[in-house]
A and B are shown apart, each in its own frame.
Chain A
Amino acid sequence: MKITASEVLHVARLSRLKLNADELTRFQKDLNAILEYMDMLADIDTAGITASVHTTTAMNVMRPDTVRDSQELSETLANAPRHLHGTVVVPKVIE
């Protein structure tokens, strides 16, 4: 196996996902098959090749630094699961 069960759990934790036992088994099998397929890249000679970041020539596009209207606060918060006094509410972070 290219990826162990404990690595799958570690990646799930990094991804902020909880896996049940069935998911763990299935994802380990799936990820393993996909990663084995991706091994084909290992043998390609890429020495000196600059990694592709942009596919067109546009780089660091800026817009003029001018004052303009933004969304109303009520609209920004319209989809928040919980909000109070113009801020989103989340479980307590610091005791």
Chain B
Amino acid sequence: MLETARQFRCSTVRPTELVEGLIDKIRDDSLNAYITLDEAGALRDAKKAETALSNGSDDTLVGIPIAIKDNICTRGIQTTCASDILKNFTPTYDATVVARLRDRGAIIIGKTNLDEFAMGSTTTTSNIGPTKNPWDETRTPGGSSGGSAAAVAAGLCLGALGSDTGGSIRQPASFCGITGLKPTYGSVSRYGLVAFASSLDQIGPMGRSARDVALLYDAIKGHDPRDSTSVPRGFPAINLEGTDIKGLCIGVPDEFFAEGLSPEVEQAVRQGISMFEELGARVVPISLPSVRYGVAVYYIIATAEASSNLARYDGVRYGVRKDGSGDLTDMYMETRSQGFGSEVKRRIMLGTYALSAGYYDAYYKKASQVRALISKDFTDAFKDCDLIAGPTAPVSAFGLNEMMDDPLSIYLLDIYTIPANLAGLPALSIPCGFTGDGMPIGMQLMAPHFREDTLLGAGMTFQDHTRFHEVLP
């Protein structure tokens, strides 16, 4: 993005040319990364950007084409959540993050594919079919922000927004060889994000480098009175240049190198950690004893919140309606049974069960208590270190049809990403190597609340000394 911003200013490329080129590429795209392309809007905004540039605008984001995950509302552009139940939904307002990007002169080029309602880790539960991994089209790009990750990796946009409830930005970033940030809970407004699990959801940026991700994060962060979970505090601008990681203490938890971790992923991540040591960081062993319960806790809390959030899809105020026998309850049931896919139904039912009479204490209350234990593990760990490092996912990208029949084995892939959501912490995935067959591997860094500056500074320093993020599919 910085290079493109420079090119705009020395007139070697114009925003209109860039957008026209991207539109052609997206039309020919075999990856199925986009659900909707906003050709007219993007060209209109490219012309505006050219005017701004000729008037001397120095904002780096002017004219930069950004893709938006299709669960983030865009005024006048369909927002479907990759679900049949919202396939006719056109928001009448922009999400705060979209409005902030537009205010800075960025161009919204289109809406990217996802698992239906962001429920999944493969981008295969979408109602328009799976997105393919640009590194190998027989494999998944990860999910649920797989469309955004594939679009960034394949050069179908310059940066993207995703959402992350249990790893949905970081895991696809890792599978597609890009950089993705899940910010601190409450640091980025969720006004206009279609709710999945409200105590966990967070919007975040995805890009080719920590610098690009920092630029986007800087543009979207900050308090928003329209989101009551948005934290009312000052958010200083992120200034990465000159960041020094000498003396930075990086904690490495044993629990993140557990059974089920692919040896190739382990080796690449351990080499990445050694690289930090060579660059002057201090590495210390730490322990997070309760994170092994993370997946069980997450799939109770996330599904319970989802069952409540998705109750709004009833065919009354928006979305698709199916009439049924003419009775109101039957209309609700027909609408929801025909409108939701299997994974969404499975999660709604699991959440309804966990909240139902007789099971609430055993599931939801217990999970919320264990969640507090997991948060405490991190509070304790951050007394001894500034960042925590480990793998983003236990494996690299796998075949599109693998594991489709076993939801639990898919859920277990989120084991290393879920803890940051449960504790509300910021976490970054950066490329740190490749498997023997050429698939990208991601390393995850986690920081204390609101320490995105430390996180992105470490990511940038790593990328200044490695080339993994520059390799193209």
Contact = CB atoms under 8 A, between A and B. Distances in A.
Interface of A: 3, 7-8, 11-12, 14-19, 23, 26-27, 30-31, 33-35, 37-38, 40-42, 44, 46, 49-58, 61, 63, 71, 75-76, 78-82, 88, 90-93
A23 B345 CA distance: 10
Contacts of B423: 55
B366 A54 contact: no
Contacts of A93: 328
Contacts of B311: 16
A37 B296 contact: yes
Contact of B229 (A15, A61, A75): A61
A40 B232 contact: no
Contacts of A63: 225, 228
Q: Which 6 residue pairs spanning A and B have beta carbons closest together? A: A55-B424, A51-B368, A79-B318, A81-B321, A52-B372, A46-B369
Contacts of B336: 15-17
Interface in B65-102: 88-90, 92-93
Contacts, number: 165
Interface string B408-439: 10010000000000111100000000000000
Interface in B327-352: 327-334, 336-337, 340, 342, 345-346, 348-350, 352
B46 interface: no
A91 B295 CA distance: 41
B75 to A, nearest CB: 10
A33 B409 CA distance: 10
Interface residues of B, number: 73
Contacts of A79: 88-90, 92, 317-319
A46 to B, nearest CB: 4
Contact of B331 (A8, A41, A90): A90
Contact of A15 (B297, B307, B372): B307
B201 to A, nearest CB: 12
Contacts of B362: 42
Nearest to A18: B337
B356 interface: yes
Contacts of A26: 342
Interface of B: 88-90, 92-93, 184-186, 199, 225, 228-232, 293, 295-297, 299-300, 307, 311, 314-321, 323, 326-334, 336-337, 340, 342, 345-346, 348-350, 352-353, 356, 362-363, 365-373, 375, 407-408, 411, 422-425, 449
Contact of A90 (B299, B328, B348, B375): B328
B296 A53 contact: no
Given A30-B407, A58-B232, A82 B296 contact: no
Contacts of A14: 352, 356
B332 A16 contact: yes
B350 A81 contact: no
A57 B448 CA distance: 13
13 contacts: A11-B349, A11-B352, A15-B307, A15-B336, A16-B333, A17-B345, A27-B345, A30-B346, A31-B346, A54-B424, A61-B232, A79-B90, A91-B331
Given A11-B356, A81-B320, A88-B316, A41 B350 contact: no
A44 B92 CA distance: 47
A34 B373 contact: no
A38 B369 contact: no
Given A16-B332, A17-B337, A17-B348, 7 more contacts: A11-B349, A16-B329, A41-B363, A42-B362, A56-B186, A82-B321, A93-B328
Contact of B328 (A15, A40, A92): A92
A56 B230 CA distance: 10
